[in-house]
Amino acid sequence: MSQPLDDAALDQVFRTARTYNGFLDKPVSEAQLHAIWDLMKMGPTSANQMPARLVWCVSEEAKEKLAACAGGTNPDKIRKAPVSVVIGMDLDFHEQLPWLFPHADAKSWFEGNEALREVSAMRNSTLQGAYFIIAARMVGLDTGPMSGFSNAAVDEAFFAGTRVRSNFISTLGYGDPATIFPRSPRPDFATFNRLD
């Protein structure tokens, strides 16, 4: 049976964790990227769809290519981060279901239904993107998720000729505390919840 995590773990993952606009000049290893994936892949998705397809931009060339797709202050954030990540979604994720979900003929649920695949890919890749953020925090890294970019440009730059489309992007590294804003409001339970 699971036990509650201690306060230090809850702080690291949620309560004191922040979204960073810049990072310390400290490298992130490929082993850390694998560790993030090995945690985030364990998070639940509908029928184990796992539609997320990640591109880890570690080279200056890849980061520059991604920065060219972003707007506002995001290009500079992408260029300066140790790693930037594209969280994409495979609109043909159902092709992988025979081995990812062998308990039923789940592939047939989505064949010939593009609209259903798009909704499901978006929902479940977004879940996986959230798992990415949590997993990064669990291995001692910080993130800067963002949506200030052109999806069409990212898709052309990173997923041309495929059925993968971008969902969102994120920077990754050891967050620089000097780059965060004061925490925005976090409402109490009664504000956005109800018990029926």
How do residues 82-110 score in pLDDT, each as one tens digit?
999 999 999 999 999 999 999 999 999 99
pLDDT of residue 32: 98
Using an 8 Å Cβ cutoff, are 168 and 78 in contact?
A: no
Using an 8 Å Cβ cutoff, are 173 and 19 in contact?
A: no
Looking at residue 91, what DSSP letter applies? T
Cα distance between residue 151 and residue 79, in whole Å: 18
Using an 8 Å Cβ cutoff, are 66 and 76 in contact?
A: no
Q: Token match 């699971």: residue?
A: 2
What value does the mean pLDDT of the chain take? 98
Structure tokens that stand for 195 in this block: 């018990």
pLDDT of residue 59: 98
Structure tokens that stand for 172 in this block: 């990754």
For the chain, domain boundaries: 29-178
pLDDT (average), residues 37-41: 98
pLDDT of residue 7: 97
Tell me the CA distances in angstroms from 161 to 140, 155, 165, one per residue in order. Answer: 35, 9, 11
pLDDT tens digits for range 8-23: 999 999 999 999 999 9
Using an 8 Å Cβ cutoff, are 26 and 82 in contact?
A: yes
Instruction: Band the pLDDT of 1: cuts 50, 70, 90.
Output: confident
Share of residues in the chain with pLDDT > 70 (%): 100
In the predicted structure, residue 43 carries a pLDDT above the cut 80 = yes
pLDDT tens digits for range 113-160: 999 999 999 999 999 999 999 999 999 999 999 999 999 999 999 999
Structure tokens that stand for 185 in this block: 């409001």
CATH label, 29-178, candidates 3.40.50.10420, 3.40.109.10, 1.10.260.40, 3.30.1050.10? 3.40.109.10
Of 45, 23, 24, nearest to 132 by C-alpha is: 45
